[in-house]
A and B are shown apart, each in its own frame.
Chain A
Amino acid sequence: MVFQGHEAAIFAPLFSNMNMGVRVMSDIAAGRLSGEELAENFADIHPPLDAKSAHIEASRCYFCYDAPCMEACPTGIDIPSFIRKISTDNVRGSAIDILEENIMGGACARVCPTEVLCEGACVRTAQEGKPVTIGALQRFATDWLMEKGEQPFTRAATTGKKVAIIGAGPAGLSAAHRLSQLGHDCEVFEALPKSGGLNEYGIADYKVVDNFAQKEVEFILGLGGITVHHGKKLGQELALGTLRNDFDAVFIGSGLGAVQALALEGENIEGVFNAVDYIADLRQTPDKSKLPIGRRVVIIGGGSTAIDIAVKSKRLGAEDVTIVYRRGADAMSATAVEQKFAQTNGVKIKHWMQPVGIVSDNGAVSAVEFEYTKQGSDGKLTGTGEKTILPADMLFKAIGQVFVPDPVSGTAAQLELKGGRIAVDERYATSLDGVYAGGDCIDGNVGLTVAAVQDGKKAALAINDYLAKK
């Protein structure tokens, strides 16, 4: 007997009282959809602009003075300037405007939550609720240049200085590119088999199609002066102390290492997954029909990862997909646009519920028990005592990732932490001389690709100053 959708809602309290006396079969299967359906579901969700559309869209830009969009961009791209250059057919100049400030301008054009960044600040949003589609234009310009196969940047005369970079994600690659431009040789150490970090392992397929993340890595490495070593993880194959001895400076951009736990009994039983792990598998599996997905999927969390895994589940063929978040829609870190995207993909979002138990059957998850929540006047969240049960063949945990400090704090070379992550000053210097850090692993980072790129860029400039004085 299987309850779905509204039936589940009706019968759930009954289940609770009956202590799951009714057997619910777990249903996880691969190949729920045909190859064509999967291909369509994982194709580019925002197909690129053609030249004509780009011209017309570019001409909507008012070329603002002290442009609010520019201020809203974490990497400070001169947005009016790059858009104007598209409208005059100076696409090369446009792409260079973007890439000078953000070497991952191509990825950011695809993955940035522009609705809360540049496009949210666009004066046309204030005027008519329809911003200039800055992300799409940025993609138009950067794609144009990358398709030319041209490396627009050159390296300064070599300084003879060597910098070790931990992590080949957005922060690390951004730092490496800028340091190499400034004439320093960079060696990048990456734990995983591919470079790109979350662009390769974390971003939804339909946002970065056609192996874009790897193309972008090749573009960045095309500058020269950057060597990437894979299978090198800090604390295992690498030690911070050794790197400090062997290199003139070190940049840590290792991201977050672990997934936040629910702290519930049964969290490790069959059918319970970390969303980020499943997303990484999904990205690395060329044949999506081989990926097993539950018929009924429950996701706990309120951020971009929750949205991504929910939409992907639906697009793999799951029947009922529900995101459960413990607070209201406004408090979700996923933007309103992302929430709507999930909902139009057939995902249900339930608010004010927190998980209190995982119901198992034959060692596999069969349902999740939730308690309704409320927020007190002090802002604190408390359970109401009222409970409900959502049947689930699969449960995804998407309540955030945490920094694993052991490799940097458990050794002789000990870094100061703050807020559970690496503490840095305003120039990205850690507590250790010559060691800098940026991206998700530092305190205060907001967890966006674009912010990591900016960290890498600014840390590189700080390292350059440091090396000049050394």
Chain B
Amino acid sequence: MADLSYNFAGIKSPNPFWLASAPPTDKEYNVVRAFEAGWGGVVWKTLGEDPPVVNVSSRYGAVQLNGQRMMGFSNIELITDRPLDVNLEEIARVKKNWPDRAVVVSLMVPCEEEPWKRILREVEDTGADGVELNFGCPHGMSERGMGSAVGQVPEYVEMVTRWCKEHSDLPVIVKLTPNITDIRTAARAAVRGGADAVSLINTINSIVSVDLDVMAPTPIVDGKGAHAGYCGPAVKHIALNMVAEIARDPECRGIPVSGIGGIANWRDGAEFMALGCGSVQVCTAAMHYGFRIVDDMITGLSNWMDEKGYRTIDDFRSMAVPNVANWNELNMNYDIKARINQDSCIKCGLCHITCEDTSHQAITATRVEGARLYEVVDKECVGCNLCMLACPVDNCITMERVDKDKPYMNWNQDPRNPFSTAAE
């Protein structure tokens, strides 16, 4: 039986599955229900200064795909709208009653040293395990000079992180906004400021849909909508890349990363861990199905680790990082061709039409005694995978490696490259 417990930057939890700072962690009632369901930790919904913010009615938008709801999810909710002392009292009680779980408190106060100093002291008094600096929230708070307004300026990230490290002994996690050009810039600033860890991604600026009757972006608040923070399964792929960028950046090397972005099951979590994450945070999936999804996350990860022979998270964590390369490190001699298994072909013709219309005209469509036949023309096939991806039958189209006895040769070594080191 695999050991799922993890010590993330000094914050211990029985499993790596945390609930992200968001509505599910807004108050004691929800957090207790989450812990009862088995979540390893929570990042409490962001605390700010009193008086509390006021939220609008109509807060969430969503993207449906082929009947699947909430493939993408967006919100215009602000930080906690409850008084600070109420939150602090509940945090203290929850931590006391659930000592084995990770209780991290998300924070967002104006970009001045004093408010940060003040709130850190109050959080320390609750017995919480750590703080997460919300430099990512892209709506509402950013217009008040907080959230992503800080996260988008590396100097501010570094400065606030340094204040927090000076005024608190708690582990400091810096939560990064994806709404910047290069995630490494903000991550490096956090490292320079002394951050114990980073977490990413926060939500992405978005308009999930336009209501064509009202002629307004959704979610609509009395006829108008604001850009909203996008998350859910649709953003996982963007988050994975940003996590990988940090994992392989020399300046960030070794910093613990808590992965966030569309994680809905154990496999998603394992993928983030393979790219270096020590914990993963979940929000949309819980908001879609409730807290009980953690059961699959725990047992699924455990079963997979057992199957692979991994005893602890660190046994496989970061294993995929060395294989994330730059394009010019890829092997130019690697050559694959599409292979269609005629026995499992159901004659949908998608391999042909996608290749014919949009790629390399490498799959012919013919009839043999009336029966449809789709065949690969090897000399035209560039091994792009499009047909394999479009084919609705698993393993009907596979890619066969055909380069024989050719050595590894990257673009820098390739004589076809005018600037090649191998060119005479």
Q: Which residues of A contact B (CB under 8 A)?
A: 52, 55-56, 59, 62-68, 87, 123-124, 126-127
How far, in Å, is A59 (CB) from chain B's closest CB? 4
Contact of A127 with B67 at beta-carbon distance under 8 Å, contacts A65-B352, A66-B365, A68-B372 already known:
no
| Alpha-carbon gap, A312 to B352, bound state (A) | 47
Nearest B-chain residue to A121, judged by Cβ: B347
Report yes or no: A123 in contact with B66, Cβ–Cβ below 8 A. Answer: no
Nearest B-chain residue to A68, judged by Cβ: B347
B384 within 8 Å of A (CB atoms): no
B320 within 8 Å of A (CB atoms): no
Contact of A62 with B66 at beta-carbon distance under 8 Å, contacts A123-B346, A123-B348 already known:
no
Contact of A55 with B67 at beta-carbon distance under 8 Å, contacts A65-B365, A68-B372 already known:
yes
| Alpha-carbon gap, A236 to B393, bound state (A) | 60
| Alpha-carbon gap, A65 to B347, bound state (A) | 9
Q: What are 25 A-B interface contacts by the 8 Å CB criterion?
A: A52-B67, A55-B66, A56-B66, A56-B67, A62-B348, A62-B350, A64-B347, A64-B350, A65-B348, A65-B349, A65-B352, A65-B353, A65-B365, A66-B365, A67-B348, A67-B349, A68-B347, A68-B372, A87-B66, A123-B346, A123-B347, A123-B392, A126-B346, A126-B347, A127-B393
Hey, which chain A residues are within 8 Å of B352, CB to CB?
65
Q: Which residues of B contact A (CB under 8 A)?
A: 66-67, 346-350, 352-353, 365, 372, 392-393
Hey, which chain B residues are within 8 Å of A66, CB to CB?
349, 365, 372
How far, in Å, is B363 (CB) from chain A's closest CB? 10
Seed contacts A64-B350, A123-B392; 9 additional CB < 8 Å A-B pairs: A59-B67, A62-B350, A64-B348, A65-B349, A65-B365, A67-B348, A68-B372, A123-B346, A127-B393
How far, in Å, is B346 (CB) from chain A's closest CB? 4
Hey, which chain A residues are within 8 Å of B393, CB to CB?
127
Hey, which chain B residues are within 8 Å of A64, CB to CB?
347-350
Hey, which chain A residues are within 8 Å of B66, CB to CB?
55-56, 59, 87
Nearest B-chain residue to A126, judged by Cβ: B346
| Alpha-carbon gap, A123 to B365, bound state (A) | 16
Hey, which chain B residues are within 8 Å of A127, CB to CB?
346, 392-393
Hey, which chain A residues are within 8 Å of B346, CB to CB?
123-124, 126-127
Hey, which chain A residues are within 8 Å of B353, CB to CB?
65
Hey, which chain A residues are within 8 Å of B372, CB to CB?
66, 68
Nearest B-chain residue to A52, judged by Cβ: B67
Give the contacting residue for A65; candidates B67, B350, B392; CB below 8 A: B350
Hey, which chain B residues are within 8 Å of A87, CB to CB?
66
| 8 interchain residue pairs of minimum CB distance | A65-B349, A59-B66, A65-B353, A56-B67, A123-B346, A64-B348, A126-B346, A123-B348
| Alpha-carbon gap, A63 to B348, bound state (A) | 8
Specify which of A62, A65, A123 lies most central, judged by the most chain B CB atoms within 10 Å of its CB: A65
Hey, which chain B residues are within 8 Å of A126, CB to CB?
346-347
Hey, which chain B residues are within 8 Å of A62, CB to CB?
348, 350, 392
Specify which of A52, A63, A126, A127 lies most central, judged by the most chain B CB atoms within 10 Å of its CB: A127
How far, in Å, is B64 (CB) from chain A's closest CB? 9
Hey, which chain A residues are within 8 Å of B67, CB to CB?
52, 55-56, 59
Nearest B-chain residue to A66, judged by Cβ: B349
Hey, which chain A residues are within 8 Å of B365, CB to CB?
65-66
| Alpha-carbon gap, A293 to B257, bound state (A) | 77
Specify which of A55, A67, A126 lies most central, judged by the most chain B CB atoms within 10 Å of its CB: A126
| Alpha-carbon gap, A56 to B348, bound state (A) | 19
Nearest A-chain residue to B394, judged by Cβ: A127
| Alpha-carbon gap, A64 to B345, bound state (A) | 12
How far, in Å, is A167 (CB) from chain B's closest CB? 34
| Alpha-carbon gap, A66 to B373, bound state (A) | 11
| Alpha-carbon gap, A126 to B66, bound state (A) | 22
| Alpha-carbon gap, A63 to B390, bound state (A) | 11
Nearest A-chain residue to B396, judged by Cβ: A127
Hey, which chain B residues are within 8 Å of A67, CB to CB?
348-349
| Alpha-carbon gap, A154 to B352, bound state (A) | 37
Hey, which chain B residues are within 8 Å of A59, CB to CB?
66-67
Nearest B-chain residue to A87, judged by Cβ: B66
Specify which of A59, A63, A64, A124 lies most central, judged by the most chain B CB atoms within 10 Å of its CB: A64
How far, in Å, is B104 (CB) from chain A's closest CB? 39
How far, in Å, is A58 (CB) from chain B's closest CB? 9
Nearest A-chain residue to B344, judged by Cβ: A127
| Alpha-carbon gap, A59 to B64, bound state (A) | 12
Hey, which chain B residues are within 8 Å of A123, CB to CB?
346-348, 392
Hey, which chain A residues are within 8 Å of B348, CB to CB?
62, 64-65, 67, 123
Hey, which chain B residues are within 8 Å of A55, CB to CB?
66-67
How far, in Å, is A155 (CB) from chain B's closest CB? 33
